[in-house]
Amino acid sequence: MDGALRTQLGDQLFDALRARRTVEPITSRHPDVTIEDGYHISRRLLARREAAGERVIGKKIGVTSKAVQRMLDVHQPDFGWLTDGMLGEGELAISSQLIQPRAEGEIAFVLKRDLVGPGVTDADVLAATECVMACFEIVDSRIRDWKIRIQDTVADNASSGLFVLGRERVRPEAVDFVTCGMVVEKNGEIVSTGAGAAALGSPVHCVRWLANTLGAFDVPLKAGEIVLSGSLVPLEPVVAGDHMRVRIAGIGSAEVRFS
């Protein structure tokens, strides 16, 4: 795929994001698209967002749990970019901010020093982490009906929409990232449970994977950035009127209402 087409597809996704509409899957229109093409398209989408005034404040890891991989029929992790325009508060308006949203509970890492791959270890991740927090990522797709393959979600900024952070900030050495349990409630009823091990064996492994993968693109994880480490539970579709709450043992909680 040549650079002009990558640029064109990135512009299409940006226009769809701004207009809150979907486009046909890239993989159905361009069957030869590769994952590398997808990341170039994603960078074009990010460049358009930055030109519109948004600022990168972190990165996100997607498709880390088997439950999410099976749900989306995507069987390897990917990554995307977080901007200040994606950071939401306790109430999100679907009609003006989202297209076809789904909520997932995650652990967010806040970094106090850079992580630059390759060669990053779990110990490096923990040493570079200032604190962790409970988080809801509201994933969203500009691809029609979520009919995505890995190339589609990579191109579409890892199907990221918005995210909401909890208030508690916990030092990483106080958390057992493998066994920490997660409970997700929707409108007061438990809809899913999970544990840290659901995300590539540990959310720390996910951040390590991201740092080393980004290293191949000469992109660091920077001090002060937020890293969303991937869902521990299945994605939950949401509509206006829904209230979601996630609790993570040893870390805290986060909640979001949709209007």
- pLDDT at position 67 is 67
pLDDT at 77 over 90: no
pLDDT tens digits for range 194-248:
999 988 899 999 999 999 999 988 889 999 999 999 989 989 999 999 999 999 9
Q: How far apart are the first and last CA of the chain?
A: 40
Mean pLDDT, the chain, integer: 94
Q: What is the largest CA-CA distance in the chain?
A: 50
Give helix 35-51 / helix 3-19 axis angle, nearest 10°: 50
Cβ(213)–Cβ(220) below 8 Å: no
Was domain 55-258 assigned CATH 3.90.850.10? yes
What is the C-alpha separation between 235 and 138, in angstroms, rounded? 9
Cβ(80)–Cβ(42) below 8 Å: yes
pLDDT tens digits for range 39-55:
999 999 999 999 999 99
What is the C-alpha separation between 53 and 86, in angstroms, rounded? 12
Residues sharing a CB contact under 8 Å with residue 127, sequence separation 6 or more, in sequence order? 113
- pLDDT at position 76 is 75
To which residue do tokens 């979600």 refer?
A: 153
Q: Where are the alpha helices (DSSP H) in 198-239?
A: 203-215
pLDDT at 125 over 70: yes
What is the C-alpha separation between 105 and 37, in angstroms, rounded? 29
Q: How far is CA 128 from CA 32, 112, 207, 225, in A?
A: 39, 6, 11, 11
- pLDDT at position 43 is 95
pTM: 0.94
What is the C-alpha separation between 141 and 132, in angstroms, rounded? 26
What is the C-alpha separation between 198 and 64, in angstroms, rounded? 8
What is the C-alpha separation between 17 and 189, in angstroms, rounded? 31
Q: Among 207, 232, 161, 216, which Cα is nearest to 35's? A: 216
CA angle 89-173-117, nearest 5°? 80
What is the C-alpha separation between 154 and 160, in angstroms, rounded? 10
pLDDT at 66 over 90: no
- The mean pLDDT of 145-166, rounded to a whole number, is 95
- pLDDT at position 75 is 67
- pLDDT at position 180 is 97
| DSSP string computed for 111-180 | ESS-B-SSS--HHHHHHHEEEEEEEEEEE--SBGGG---HHHHHHTGGGEEEEEE-S--B-GGG--TTT-
pLDDT tens digits for range 13-33:
999 999 999 999 999 999 999
- pLDDT at position 95 is 85
Token couple for 39 = 């990341």
